[in-house]
């Protein structure tokens, strides 16, 4: 399903243009498909040439994206779209203003992604490319989203109880928080709604 919207606000880079609220997944990575489907987020295949004239508001560019596709969608970002990239997609020196961006959650929310010792280890780089926004992840989703039998860990609850949970489940939960937060910023930065199966604005 492809959802369209008119970006009407004066600050929107897509002013007076019909843009797509459906995520464009530039390369059909199974991990990304699994996460987006689990979140109920509509997405389309970036290799579908019938959508060449549809301007995406937000796109996801996995690490294994063919170079020719990465260059093509880089041009769309420069014109005002937003991109969520895995490491190595575009050289850092070609992007402007790439500061580290810490996730705005309590300490325990992101344990297990990069370091078990540092609960705030997850930092996403956020910058600009022309008129568009770029969010660079510090990880490849497929490395963290796969169902692996990782070591169990203790989780202490506020009431003093302790439960056990597979590290894989902890990591996937935290990865989902990271991705959803980034997608919200990508859409809201263009004054567009973040549309998923639990929220669909009637006016669009």
Write the DSSP string, 87-116. TTSS-GGGSB---EEE-SS-GGGGTTSS-S
Question: pLDDT tens digit string along 128-186?
Answer: 888 899 999 888 888 777 655 445 555 555 555 555 555 566 667 778 888 888 998 89
Output 51 or 24, whichever has higher pLDDT: 24
Q: Is the model's pLDDT at 83 over the cut of 90?
A: yes
Residue 84 · residue 141 · CB < 8 Å: no
- Is residue 50 predicted with pLDDT exceeding 60? no
> Is the predicted pLDDT of residue 6 greater than 60, yes or no?
no
- Residue 155 near residue 163 (C-beta atoms within 8 A): yes
Q: For residue 197, what pLDDT band results from cuts at 50, 70 and 90?
A: low
Mean pLDDT of 5-23: 54
Q: Quote the CA–CA distance of 40 and 61 in Å, as a whole number.
A: 19
What is the rounded average pLDDT of the residues 78-106?
Answer: 76
Higher pLDDT, 143 or 105: 143
Close Cβ partners of 91 (under 8 Å, ≥ 6 residues apart): none
Q: What is this structure's pTM?
A: 0.73
Answer whether 21's CB lies under 8 Å from 4's CB: yes
pLDDT at residue 202 above 70? no
155 or 191: which leads in pLDDT: 191
């Amino acid at each position: 399903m492809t959802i369209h919207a008119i970006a009407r606000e004066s600050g929107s880079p897509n002013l007076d243009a019909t843009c797509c609220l459906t995520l464009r997944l530039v390369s059909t990575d199974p991990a990304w498909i699994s996460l987006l489907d689990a979140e109920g987020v509509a997405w389309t295949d970036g290799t579908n040439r019938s959508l060449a004239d549809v301007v995406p508001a937000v796109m996801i560019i996995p690490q294994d994206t063919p170079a020719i596709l990465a260059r093509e969608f880089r041009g769309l970002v420069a014109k005002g779209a937003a991109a969520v990239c895995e490491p190595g997609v575009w050289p850092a020196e070609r992007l402007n203003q790439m500061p580290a961006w810490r996730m705005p959650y309590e300490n325990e929310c992101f344990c297990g992604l990069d370091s078990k010792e540092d609960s705030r280890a997850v930092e996403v780089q956020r910058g600009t490319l022309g008129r568009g926004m770029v969010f660079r992840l510090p990880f490849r989703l497929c490395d963290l989203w796969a169902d692996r039998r990782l070591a169990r860990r203790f989780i202490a609850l506020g009431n003093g109880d302790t439960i056990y949970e597979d590290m894989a489940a902890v990591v996937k939960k935290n990865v989902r928080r990271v991705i959803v937060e980034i997608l919200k910023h990508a859409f809201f930065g263009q004054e567009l709604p973040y549309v998923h199966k639990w929220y669909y604005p009637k006016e669009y």
